[in-house]
Structure 1
Amino acid sequence: MIETIPLPTTHDPVDRAFWQGCKDGKLLIQSCRDCGHVQHPPRAMCPVCQSMELGWELVSGKGTIWSYTIPHPPLLPAFAAIAPYIVAVIVPDDFPAIRIVGALADPAGGTIGGITPDTVAIGAPVNLTFIQLVDDVALPCWFPAGNDGLPEKEKQQ
């Protein structure tokens, strides 16, 4: 558990379903019921057709690392205890137009961090996990898929 971590507001009508989904172990992406556009983070209106008729689509929980960074030093003191940790931009397999920012986490440890930088690469497959921060907030995080998380082309080199 990270002490004094800034927590999201989970009762905002724009993203309440997103946070409820996370609490229930489901990652949801907002979609427009009029034009089909998908978007993340959630917004009150579709940027394509300006519709406010928005719904939610379930994400499979599999994705690819599009980019990543290791914050040095952590920007907020609350994160110093888990440093170094990796923050990645993930492309979900079933929603390739979306980018989701999230921490990499060791699912066995139940906390952010625990993933070493040498097991992470752009293009590496990842799987979804959730880290419970407090009773009503579970944070979607990712961990390398397979033994080392490296793309097949890098395993063969």
Structure 2
Amino acid sequence: MSDDDHAALLSPVPDDDGAPFWQYAARGELRIQACADCGELRFPPRPCCPHCHSFASEWRRMSGRGRVWSYVVPHPPLLPAYAAQAPYNAIVVELAEAPRIRLVGNLVSGPGAPLNSAPVERIRIGARVQVVFAETDGVCVPRWILDRP
């Protein structure tokens, strides 16, 4: 992939509310924002709790375990910069500790494996997964591996 193609790949753009998520990810930790008053978890991160309207928040460490809630395998790729990666998957993961919290990522065959490394036929709704982190353009992003390959 050329530098021009690589520049067109999607990468996270941290904002003030979400910056701690990416800082923890860089340390290999999956943390989710929680209200410091009522305790409700929330994602995506935001300044005010949608449940009790408090502005107090904290970041709770998650186990990194979850289940595939949904997935898609784009054919052809949705964005031209991903053509060399196709076919690749995009999965939605429901976190074990917080089933209402769902994160989008990719299923890969192992830590450090490329985007398109997991065989599509192994992806199943309900499959148990574990988070791993991969660096993309200087930002560590969550990816997922099967809990029991």
Give TM-score scaled by structure 1 length: 0.85
Residue 10 of structure 2 is aligned with which of 6, 12, 23? 6
Residue 103 of structure 1 is aligned with which of 76, 82, 106? 106
Query: 5+ unaligned residues in a row in structure 2: which ranges?
Result: none
- What is the aligned partner in structure 2 of residue 61 from structure 1? 64
Identity %: 39
- What is the aligned partner in structure 1 of residue 145 from structure 2? 143
Following the alignment from structure 1 to structure 2, what is the Cα–Cα distance between the partners of residues 70 and 107? 18
Structure 1 residues 56, 80: CA separation in 2 closer, same or farther (over 3 Å shift)?
same
Following the alignment from structure 1 to structure 2, what is the Cα–Cα distance between the partners of residues 83 and 44? 37
Map Cα deviations across residues 86-144 of structure 1 (whole Å, 9 max, x no partner): 11111111222211111112325532221111111111111111111123x01101111
* Paired residues for 1:23-38 under 5 Å: 23-38=26-41
Greater mean alpha carbon deviation, residues 28-37 or residues 93-102: 93-102
Q: Is the contact made by 1:27 and 1:58 (CA closer than 8 Å) also made in structure 2? A: yes
Q: SS at 2:6's partner residue? A: coil
Corresponding letter in the other structure for 1:8? P
Following the alignment from structure 2 to structure 1, what is the Cα–Cα distance between the partners of residues 72 and 6? 22
Following the alignment from structure 1 to structure 2, what is the Cα–Cα distance between the partners of residues 42 and 71? 28
CA deviation after TM superposition for structure 1 residue 15, in Å = 0.6
Corresponding letter in the other structure for 2:10? P
RMSD value, Cα: 1.7
- What is the aligned partner in structure 2 of residue 152 from structure 1? none
Give TM-score scaled by structure 2 length: 0.89
Corresponding letter in the other structure for 2:107? L
